[in-house]
Amino acid sequence: MKDTMDKLLRLGLGLVAAGKEQIEKTVEELVEKGELSRAESKAVVDEWLKKGEDTKQHIERLIQERLDALIQQANLATKGEIARLEQRIAELEEKLADRSSDESAQ
């Protein structure tokens, strides 16, 4: 499932990258037609790229939220939860080893 989500994210990022080239091409055509000045063209490209980046970040947040919801619905443990359990097991093993050594000493 994570691989699929990663592929979707990369596809979206690829579209954003292809979009930059298309934006620059379109703006250059507008400059050549005289519909946009060179100074304006940079501002337009920057604005559209910013909007593209904002959209990318929004998509990433949506994907993360969806993944979190799927993990919760599937009742899967997170890395943090597993780490806490591993820590707790280590502490209990240490206590058990201490008790065993105390009992052996008696």
Q: Which residue has tokens 């292809």?
A: 18
The pTM for the full model equals 0.49
Domain boundaries, the chain: 2-75, 78-106
Residue 15 near residue 59 (C-beta atoms within 8 A): no
Cα 14 from chain centre: 15
Residue of 28 and 104 predicted with greater confidence: 28
pLDDT of residue 92: 97
Determine the Cα angle at 31 with ends 28 and 36, to 5°. 125
Residue 1 reports pLDDT greater than 50: no
Closest CA to 81 of 72, 73, 94, 70: 72
What are phi and psi for residue 39, nearest 5 degrees? -65, -45
Mapping DSSP onto H, E and C, the string for 37-55 reads CHHHHHHHHHHHHHHHHHH
Q: What is the pLDDT of residues 65-103, one digit of tens each?
A: 998 888 888 888 889 999 999 999 999 999 999 888 877
Q: What is the pLDDT of residues 13-65, one digit of tens each?
A: 555 555 777 777 777 887 888 877 888 888 877 887 787 788 888 888 998 99
pLDDT of residue 16: 58
